[in-house]
Amino acid sequence: MSNKPLHTLKSLCAVFLATVLLASLGVQVASALGPAEYKLNDILFWDERARKCVTTPGSGGPANLNVDKGFSLGTDPKERRSNLITALMKDYPPMTAAQASGVVGNFMHESGGTDLPPDVNEGGRKGPPGFSGGYGWAQWTGGRQKGFIDFAIKNGFMASASEHANDGANYAWLKFEFANAEKTTIPALLASPPNDPEAAAVAFEAAFERAGVPALTQRKAGAKQAFDEYNAGVGTTSPGGGNTTGGGCTTASGGGASIVGDKAFPLKTTKAVMDSKNAGMFKNGTASKGGHPYTAYDILADTGTEVMAFLSGTVTQITEDRCPGRMISIYNKESNLTISYLHMNMDPNTHVGDGDTVAVGQKVGIVGPAAAGCGIAHLHIDAAKGEKRPGCSRLSCPAANAEQFVDIGPDLSKTYDVLP
């Protein structure tokens, strides 16, 4: 007796079950995207695994302010300073490390502790709030201190006023003030020079602290110290207790970026490593272009090297290139440029998510293995006018599309020059 009908039934059942499973997982087939777009961009398919960050609108509670109750800057003083810089850059793009360092320098002076103690009363005593003098990172006083503690209790960061305040309570209240009574602070910081921590310290004192005795020399010194430590790579990839943006997205780190103005070298590396792998690429004030029919750059780097944001912006596209490796495009509204990073590691846990906002010098992803770079580990980076990367690949690039790409060689050279 033939078993062909049985095989047919099993096949139909398998197809049905697969269809149900895909539907239950919310998988979407990207058939709406045209094959021409895939071919021109060296894209195999749109990556449905890429996560989109979702934040809850509004203000007033930790869910809305996006601060985990377990938020912690760590234990080592240097790590704590650098981690607060990272958190501020991530939550307030396009804030630079220098501008965030201005906040840290002020808190170092205000709290009287270079480790940014979250539970210190004026005079140096750590413990519950004394409601006499200042308290916490910013030494909040009077009504601002009472508001801080009431807020922390109401939103679950403290059980009562007899407890010590923690990092989460301080950061959530800080963000609440930035969104409400102290809403002029972030614009004031962003208006300061992007690579001058001392100027940022002065701006933050004037907008937020408004101290009776400004003591600007001490605040500026603290900001410069924190900025130098951050650029030396001190700190972890994200403050403890999870990310502060919510939505289950990978957080972007910022330690160790080499920044000049509003641009950063797109890899966390050293000049010696770059010279050993890319001999002669950075010279005469520019960078040598890769062999493409449009303007682009191929920078050899070890697998796992962190890819840093050349410009700040919003993640507008996450795809797979033909090698296949990860491709991520980030649009910078101020310059109307889309920066694309190719041949990165495919694992979604290693890179930013769709819709994320990324500050200059923050981690975008990591360089993929040799296979992700079609045989050799490297980062491909290009810049194009507009909100979307034009359809171009090494094999095909219409002239009209090629004209949209911009020469960033001089800026790559400038940021290479400040590599450690």
| Domain formed by 259-417, architecture | Distorted Sandwich (2.70)
Residue-level pLDDT, tens digit, the chain, 420 residues: 344 444 443 444 443 333 333 333 333 323 333 333 333 444 433 333 333 333 322 223 333 367 888 889 998 999 999 999 989 988 898 898 999 999 999 999 999 878 999 999 999 999 999 999 999 999 999 999 999 999 999 999 999 999 999 999 999 999 999 999 999 999 999 999 988 999 999 999 999 999 999 999 999 999 999 999 988 775 544 565 433 433 333 333 345 678 888 899 999 999 999 999 999 999 999 999 988 999 999 999 999 999 999 999 999 999 988 888 999 999 999 999 999 999 999 998 889 998 888 888 889 999 999 999 999 999 999 999 999 999 888 888 999 999 999 999 999 999 999 888
How distant is the alpha carbon of residue 181 from its chain centre? 26
Q: Residue 391 to residues 32, 345, 405, 420: CA-CA distances in angstroms?
A: 16, 22, 11, 36
Q: What's the farthest any 2 CA atoms get from each other in the chain?
A: 98
- CATH code of 70-231, in short, is 1.10.530.10
Q: What's at 349, amino acid-wise? A: N
Q: Is 58 exposed, middle or buried (0-12, 13-18, 19+ CB in 10 A)?
A: exposed
Q: What is the pTM of this model?
A: 0.50
Give the span between the Cα atoms of 62 and 46, in whole angstroms.
34
pLDDT of residue 17: 39
- Give φ, ψ of 344 to 5 degrees: -90, 170
pLDDT of residue 235: 52
Q: Which of 102, 408, 83 is nearest to 263 (CA)?
A: 408
* Domain residue ranges of the chain, discontinuous segments joined by +: 70-231, 259-417
What element of type H or E holds 174? Answer: helix 167-179
